[in-house]
Amino acid sequence: MKQEGFFFRTFHLYYDGFRSMTLGKTLWLIILIKVFIIFAVLKLFFFPNHIHQNAPPGEEDDFVAKELIDRATPSHY
């Protein structure tokens, strides 16, 4: 009877649910491939944080200030 606790039942909800999936297995495979592409490929190689890459740590505000002020300065163009 001890096994009927909340955590045990919660565990079995997920465990039995995942084991008995049919279509769900295909969907999970698609989700995992998609999440891998998004986080391990796109984020890692194609979407760096532009400010962190170009501004010294702690001087991000100066970097953005320069960007925003320069783009409004007539001499810039």
Partner 1 sequence: MQDTLLTIDPSIIDWSRAQFALTAIYHWLFVPLTLGLAVIMGIMETCYYRTQNPFWKDAAKFWQKLFGINFAMGIATGIILEFEFGTNWSNYSWFVGDIFGAPLAIEGIVAFFMESTFVAVMFFGWQKVSAGFHLASTWLTGLGATLSAWWILVANAWMQNPVGCEFNPDTMRNEMVSFSDVALSPFAIDKFCHTVISAWIIGAVFTVAVSSWYLLKRRETQLALQSIKIGSIVGLIASIGAALSGHQSAFRIAQVQPMKLAAMEALYNGGTDQSLTGIALVNPFVQPDYQNDAEPPMRIAAPFALSILATNDPHGYVPGINDILNGYTRPDGTVELSADEKIQRGKLAIQTLAEYRQAKKAGADEATLQPQLDILKANMPYFGYGYIRDKSELVPYIPVNFYAFRIMVGVGSLLILFFAVVLFFIYKKDITTPRWLHLSAIIMVPLSYIASESGWLVAEFGRQPWTIQDMLPTWAAVSNIHSSSIMFTFFIFLILFTTMLAVEINILLKQIKKGPEYSS
> CA–CA separation, 25 vs 33, rounded Å?
12
| Contact yes or no for 37/43 (Cβ under 8 A) | no
Q: Of 44-63, which residues contact partner 1 (CB under 8 A)?
A: 46-51, 60-61
25 in contact with partner 1 (CB under 8 A):
no
Residue 43 to residue 36: CA distance in whole angstroms: 10
CB of residue 35 to partner 1, shortest distance in Å: 6
Q: For the chain, what is the total number of helices (H) and then of strands (E)?
A: 4, 0
Candidates 5, 8, 16, 40; binder of partner 1 (CB under 8 A) is 16
Amino acid at 64: V
Chain contacts with partner 1 (rule: CB under 8 A): 9, 12-14, 16-18, 23-24, 26-28, 30-31, 34-35, 37-38, 42-43, 46-51, 60-61, 64-65, 67-73, 76-77
